[in-house]
């Protein structure tokens, strides 16, 4: 009992002095290198739900975003999955772009100004990621492979990286961020199917299928976890903070 009390008192001191000793001779870790940064309002899920295109609907996907954010201490924000659902009798379509607030959005990594005093990390904004004007669509956005990191600040494996490729990101959306209006399934039955159906995906590394779309590059055949893997994804999706 006595020992335990003693350790409770000196323990923090030991830890602190050890940390200080390790700090000597190294460059001090700047506070803004914390991951995730306090600015984080965007991430790619570090892991899938794991049941193919069955995410438990939009609610299940949002909960996954919220849970992952909470794990890294960013649960104080309201997180939404970037997913559309298609119209059904008595149920209007939901557009991914209408779910995520207005931005701008920052990723998990806050960078210090570099040696030319430039902040490399520019946020992404609504109109640029969706190319709302021809100029914006042509110019593109800062949603690059390096920007599209997970809530832990980790890169998502893409083309050219070690297998398996995880760059297929579920969106169910058109390039403008809105739901498809045709009758084909583009959302794994509004994110409830892990079997038949199809999901529209984008590429987090902006490479694949001859285009660079982050949110609407191609469709999958099938909605099982195995189907998603066969196309170069595992069922990851984008999460945006609305506040």
Which span sits near other proteins by CB under 8 A: 41-49, 54-62, 140-148, 179-187?
140-148
Residues facing 12 on adjacent strands: none
Pick between residue 101 and residue 140 the one whose CB is nearest to other proteins. 140
Pick between residue 89 and residue 160 the one whose CB is nearest to other proteins. 160
* Tally of CB atoms within 10 A around 9: 9
Mark 99-128 with x for binding to other proteins (rule: CB under 8 A) and - for no binding: ----------------xx---x-x-----x
The DSSP string of 97-138 is GGTS-S--BB-S-PPPP-TTS----PPB-HHHHTT-SHHHHH
Mark 195-234 with x for binding to other proteins (rule: CB under 8 A) and - for no binding: -----------xx--xxxx--xx-----------------
**Phi-psi region at 86: left, alpha or beta (left = phi > 0; alpha = psi -120 to 50):** beta
**Using an 8 Å Cβ cutoff, are 214 and 203 in contact?**
yes
Q: Is the peptide bond before 164 cis (omega within 30 degrees of 0)?
A: yes
Pick between residue 18 and residue 211 the one whose CB is nearest to other proteins. 211
Footprint of other proteins (CB under 8 A)? 115-116, 120, 122, 128, 130-131, 134-135, 137-142, 144-146, 159-160, 175-176, 206-207, 210-213, 216-217
């Amino acid at each position: 009992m006595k020992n335990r009390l003693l350790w409770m008192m000196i323990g923090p001191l030991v830890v602190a002095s050890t940390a200080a000793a390790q700090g000597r001779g190294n460059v001090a870790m700047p506070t803004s290198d914390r991951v995730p940064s306090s600015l984080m309002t965007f991430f790619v899920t570090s892991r899938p739900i794991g049941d193919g295109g069955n995410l438990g609907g939009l609610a299940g996907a949002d909960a996954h975003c919220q849970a992952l954010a909470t794990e890294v201490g960013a649960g104080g924000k309201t997180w939404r999955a970037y997913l559309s659902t298609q119209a059904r009798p008595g149920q209007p379509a939901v557009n991914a772009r209408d779910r995520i607030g207005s931005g701008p959005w920052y990723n998990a990594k806050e960078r210090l100004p570099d040696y030319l005093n430039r902040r490399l990390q520019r946020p992404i904004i609504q109109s640029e990621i969706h190319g709302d004007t021809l100029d914006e669509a042509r110019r593109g956005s800062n949603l690059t492979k390096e920007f599209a990191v997970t809530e832990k600040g980790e890169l998502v494996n893409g083309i050219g990286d070690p297998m398996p490729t995880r760059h297929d990101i579920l969106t169910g959306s058109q390039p403008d961020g809105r739901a498809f209006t045709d009758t084909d399934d583009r959302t794994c039955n509004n994110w409830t199917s892990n079997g038949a159906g199809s999901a529209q995906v984008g590429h987090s590394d902006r490479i694949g299928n001859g285009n660079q779309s982050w949110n609407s590059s191609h469709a999958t055949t099938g909605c099982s976890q195995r189907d998603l893997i066969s196309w170069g994804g595992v069922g990851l999706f984008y999460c945006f903070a609305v506040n």
